[in-house]
Structures are given as C-alpha cells and as structure tokens.
C-alpha cells in the first residue's frame, strides 16, 4: 500500500511539473517534425523532403550513409540526400529521420543520468532492431515504423530519471529507481507521444507493450514491441530463458508476430545478422 502511494505521489509530482513546464518533456528536433509532417500531409516529394533535411547536414549525411548500408544498398552507390530518399521511399525516410533524431533526446546533465539514459537507449535500440525484423514478415506493417515503435516504447523513463537525478542525485536505492521507471514510464511515455502528436498506432505502444495478455484484432506495432521486449530480456540474461519460454505460448502477441514461442530470434541464423545491421545503424 505504501509503495502504491509513493508511486502515485511521484506520478502526480511529475504530471504537475510537466504542466507547469518546470519539468520539460523531451522534444524532437525541428527538422524531424517538419519531415514527419510533410510526409504525412502526402503533398511532399523527394526533392522537398531533401530540402528540409539539408538544414541538418549531419542528418543528411546519415541518410546517405544508411541508403548505402546493407539494409538498403543497391547496385550503385548514392552520394546525395535526394537520391537516398528516392531509394528508401518517403514513408521509410519519415520514420528513419525521427529514429535517427531520437538519439539527440538522450542528453543528460550529470554523469549518473547519462549512464541511466545510455542504458535506456541501448535497450531501446535492441527492441527496435528486433521489432523491425519481425515487421518485415508481416503484411500491412512497415519495418521502419516498427523500428520507431521500439525506440519510443520506453521514452517515458526520461523525465522520471531526470526527476530522480534532481531529487536524489541517483543516491537512491537502485531497486527504487527500477520500480519507479518500470511502473510509471508507460503512462508518462503516452503523455510524451501525445505531446509529439504521434499517430494512435504508436501513441499506445508505451502504455500497452507491457500488457502480456493484450489481444489486438490484427497484428500491430505494440504486438511487435511486446514480443521484442521479451526476446531482449531473455537474450540479455535479464529473464530466465526456460521459465520465460514456458509462458510465451500464453501471450497472443507471439502468434500475431508470426514467431514460434520457443524461438529465440537472436539465435536464428540470418535473422541475427539482420538485427545486428539495424543495431549498428542506430548505434553509430
């Protein structure tokens, strides 16, 4: 009971600080927002999106680099951003620009907070890479959108970690930090994505990707992130493999993701290499 009250107090405090702008929500870089809005308006072409991206030379260079990576590489090397956008397609570029811009959000004001942010980012990259590969085998789901869903699934941890660092300097009990982030980040994450005007299909990911009994009518990005999270916990040694696999058949998301419940995706030849390519793209 005391723990529940403490969590409610912290959640209320964070909401109050967000509303008063005392605790700022993380914001996406302006160029990422402009690219997203232009593509979603369906009025932009590759040249117009290239013009928007050109205002961020580092981002433009990364798009060209990704277009020439094993994920997208064609027979001819690309050396300009408009050609990169044409090769990857506008929808893929939209998700990729937001994905690449995400790393800029994970900026900390202390060494302790930086370490905590880095762990969240690394976990998010792994979940994003697995989700992207899963989406490539499901009709109607876009791999880059699945990758973005993985990257944002734990975004709610950022303001929580920021507040804990401010209040305790991370001298707090690590178990308490883990409890607060796990229990409160889904709700805060949905607030952030609402603030960013994300689509409903992505906005519900933080809130629902930990609901193991969730049973959607059709496979969606939340299903993929849920499965990717569980796969990552086992692969990273944070969940016991045998006991975890025994329960996976109970979770509807596995069937929707087209994955055998005893399968560890990172142990699968070919698939592991695909995941590594996405991981490397997001980490570099």
At 217-238, the pLDDT tens digits run 999 999 999 999 999 999 999 9
**Residue 2 pLDDT class (50, 70, 90 cuts):** very low
> What does the alpha-carbon distance between residue 239 and residue 260 come to, in Å, rounded to a whole number?
18
> What does the alpha-carbon distance between residue 214 and residue 149 come to, in Å, rounded to a whole number?
17
120 close to 161: Cβ distance less than 8 angstroms? yes
Determine the pLDDT at residue 268.
81
**Residue 183 pLDDT class (50, 70, 90 cuts):** confident
Query: CB count, 10 Å around CB of 218?
Result: 9
Average pLDDT of span 129-134: 94
List, as one string, the DSSP characters of 218-257: S--HHHHHHHHHHHHHHHTTSS-HHHHHHHHTT-HHHHHT
At 190-216, the pLDDT tens digits run 988 988 889 999 999 999 999 999 998
> What does the alpha-carbon distance between residue 123 and residue 161 come to, in Å, rounded to a whole number?
15
> What does the alpha-carbon distance between residue 279 and residue 118 come to, in Å, rounded to a whole number?
14
pTM of the full structure: 0.88
The greatest distance separating any two alpha carbons of the chain, rounded to the nearest whole angstrom, comes to 63
Query: CB count, 10 Å around CB of 69?
Result: 14
pLDDT at 21 over 80: no
Domains of the chain: 2-283 (1.10.3210.10)
Determine the pLDDT at residue 1.
43
For residue 26, what is the enclosing H or E element?
none
At 24-66, the pLDDT tens digits run 677 788 888 899 999 988 888 999 999 999 988 988 998 999 8
Determine the pLDDT at residue 3.
53
pLDDT at 84 over 60: yes
Query: CB count, 10 Å around CB of 173?
Result: 9
Q: In the chain, where does DSSP find H-type helix? A: 2-19, 30-40, 46-53, 57-67, 81-88, 90-102, 111-135, 143-152, 157-168, 174-195, 200-203, 205-208, 221-235, 241-248, 252-256, 271-283
């Amino acid at each position: 009971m005391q723990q529940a009250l403490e969590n409610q107090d912290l959640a209320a405090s964070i909401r109050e600080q967000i509303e008063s702008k005392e605790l700022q929500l993380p914001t996406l870089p302006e160029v990422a927002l402009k690219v997203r809005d232009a593509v979603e308006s369906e009025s932009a072409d590759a040249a117009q999106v290239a013009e928007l991206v050109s205002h961020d030379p580092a981002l433009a260079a990364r798009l060209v680099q990704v277009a020439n990576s094993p994920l997208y590489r064609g027979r001819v090397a690309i050396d300009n951003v408009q050609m990169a956008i044409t090769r990857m397609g506008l929808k893929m570029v939209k998700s990729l620009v937001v994905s690449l811009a995400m790393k800029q959000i994970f900026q900390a004001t202390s060494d302790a907070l930086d370490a905590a942010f880095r762990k969240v980012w690394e976990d998010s990259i792994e979940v994003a890479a697995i989700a992207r590969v899963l989406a490539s085998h499901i009709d109607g789901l876009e791999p880059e959108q699945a990758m973005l869903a993985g990257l944002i699934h734990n975004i709610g941890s950022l303001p929580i970690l920021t507040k804990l660092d401010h209040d305790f300097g991370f001298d707090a009990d690590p178990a308490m930090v883990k409890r607060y982030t796990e229990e409160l980040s889904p709700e805060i994450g949905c607030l952030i994505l609402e603030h960013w005007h994300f689509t409903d299909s992505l906005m519900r990911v933080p809130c629902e990707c930990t609901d193991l009994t969730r049973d959607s009518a059709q496979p969606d990005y939340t299903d993929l992130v849920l499965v990717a999270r569980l796969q990552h916990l086992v692969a990273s040694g944070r969940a016991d493999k045998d006991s975890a696999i025994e329960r996976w058949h109970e979770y509807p998301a596995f069937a929707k993701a087209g994955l055998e419940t005893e399968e560890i995706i990172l142990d699968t030849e070919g698939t592991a290499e695909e995941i590594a390519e996405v991981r490397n793209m997001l980490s570099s």
